[in-house]
Amino acid sequence: MFHIDERLFEDTTHSPSLIDLVGYEHAQQVVDFCFIANPYYPTPAMIDELARHLPRLIKHYPSSNPQVSARHLAAVLHVDPAHLIIGNGATELITELCHRLAPNLGVPIPTFGEYIEKIDADRLRLYPLQAAANYQLDLAAYLAWLRTESLRAALVINPHNPTGQLFTRAEMETFLTATSDLDLVIVDESFIDFAAADVPSLLPAADRYPNLVIVRSMSKHCGVPGLRLGYCYSANEQMVATLRHSLPTWNLNTLAEFFLSLLPATDADYHASRLQVIEDMRLLTAGLAQIDGVTVYPTGANFVCFRIDTGVTARELQRRLLAEHGMYVRDCSNKVGMDRFHIRVATQGREKDRQLIDVLPGALSERDNKETWR
């Protein structure tokens, strides 16, 4: 049993770090289904290489030329490095997009909290998704609302966070064509690599849409949240210049830069890892769908969202799983626009996913065991 400091949940709109909740020592005993990261990448050989170079890396400044790392990343993305901006996590770039490029912003909710926390309230318009429709976004209805609100910038997360809803590339291009008059369209594709074997990303088409900025978090698809890596891509040279000028000279650390230099040589390993995640997600989603008392939403990401139908709240279920089973899942209750009965879980590999599926039926019962987590 773990002592859980409940105040940590009140101090952030995200989920507290597992290490903050239970400490470094106990964190090794908990399966972290809450934070979304590829469990198969980096490879063990890459980890060994990072460790071998660590003493040297921490004694040197990172590069002052952002194009050095951009070339490594562009090589695996097959894009023009001049249009690529790498950030200290996607959150750094989201902050700058909201501050510097969005005159106002339409945001479907629930969503990733940074998009509604990093823009002034008077420039933010929220588009509530309906619980009765399982919080699914209708792009045509969203577009009509953007027009009604006279908004100049719009956000679409694809696959959506937290529901996992996926739009095809054709659907997204239809939306982009219809919004070509807007100043800015942000498309967050942080989970798109897990949508299908043939990744339905907008990157190959991005040069046709000058108001488009694609945002991606490398924490998710590369499995390195601790390195704080994310990137933007846009064909709009002025927007790229504005974002690049707004970032600190040394916004990446040397360990993150060295990791990026390993990407071209390990690209085949990366794609093998994401295909394995896709298969794991198929099994996890199917297993959860067999459990009575939950409604599982279709997903195109490396996580799945489900609604609890037994009367147990997401908060109660999260605490039960952590305290009694050493499993940490995402309680979505603090996402603006979402109710108290939704959980998000990210795949952690088939064995650990199966363990979660096995314990969920008991944890979903309405018995009162709050004393186990107080």
**Same-domain status, 242 and 138:** yes
In a domain, 344, yes or no: no
pLDDT averaged over every residue in the chain: 94
The pLDDT tens digits for 211-233 are 999 999 999 999 999 999 999 99
User: Pick from 364, 235, 241: which is nearest to 306 by CA?
Assistant: 364
Tokens of residue 330, six digits: 């995402």
Give the mean pLDDT of 190-194.
Answer: 98
User: What is the CATH number for 281?
Assistant: 3.90.1150.10
Task: Please report, for residues 138, 142, 200, the alpha-carbon distance to residue 172 in angstroms, rounded to integers and kept in the order given.
Answer: 11, 13, 10
**Which tokens hold the place of 331?**
């309680």
**Domain-ending residue, one of 234, 267, 300:** 267
pLDDT digits (tens, 9 = 90+) for 74-121: 999 999 999 999 999 999 999 999 999 999 999 999 999 999 999 999
Task: Tell me, yes or no, whether 193 and 301 share the same domain.
Answer: no
What residues contact residue 208 under an 8 Å CB cut-off, 6+ apart? 235
Query: 8, 25, 7: which is closest to 326 by C-alpha?
Result: 25
330 belongs to a structural domain: yes
Q: Are residues 329 and 252 in the same domain?
A: no
pTM of structure: 0.94
Residue 30 sits in the same domain as residue 156: no
By C-alpha distance, which of 17, 98, 61 is closest to 251? 61
Split at pLDDT 50, 70, 90, the class of 2 is low
Q: Are residues 239 and 96 in the same domain?
A: yes
**244 and 104 housed in the same domain:** yes
Q: 229 and 320 in one domain?
A: no
Give the residue among 148, 152, 105 at the shortest CA–CA distance from 125. 105
Helical spans, DSSP H, in 102-203: 114-117, 139-148, 169-178
Verify that 61 and 138 share a domain, yes or no: yes
Q: Domain boundary at 206, 238, 267, which?
A: 267
- 248 with 99, same domain: the answer is yes
What is the extent of the structural domain holding 51? Answer: 45-267
Looking at the structure of the chain, the number of domains it has is 2
Residue 106, domain member (yes or no): yes
Question: Do 137 and 280 fall into the same domain?
Answer: no
Q: Which two tokens stand for residue 361?
A: 């039926």
**Helix ranges, 11-158 (H):** 18-27, 44-57, 66-77, 90-96, 114-117, 139-148
Strand partners, 305: 344
Q: What per-residue confidence (pLDDT) applies to 25?
A: 78
- Is 222 inside a domain boundary? yes
Domain CATH number, residue 123: 3.40.640.10
Residue 33 lies in a domain: yes
Is position 370 within any domain?
no
Determine the average pLDDT of the residues in 325-337.
94
Residues 35 and 182 in one domain: no
Q: Which of 214, 243, 267 is a domain's end point?
A: 267
| 103 in any annotated domain | yes
Give the pLDDT confidence score for residue 27 in this predicted structure: 80
Please check whether residues 275 and 333 belong to one and the same domain: yes
Q: What are the tens digits of pLDDT across the range 45-77?
A: 999 999 999 999 999 999 998 899 999 999 999
Does residue 194 sit in helix, strand or coil? Answer: helix
Q: What are phi and psi of 281, to 5 degrees?
A: -65, -35
Residue whose token pair is 């299908």: 196
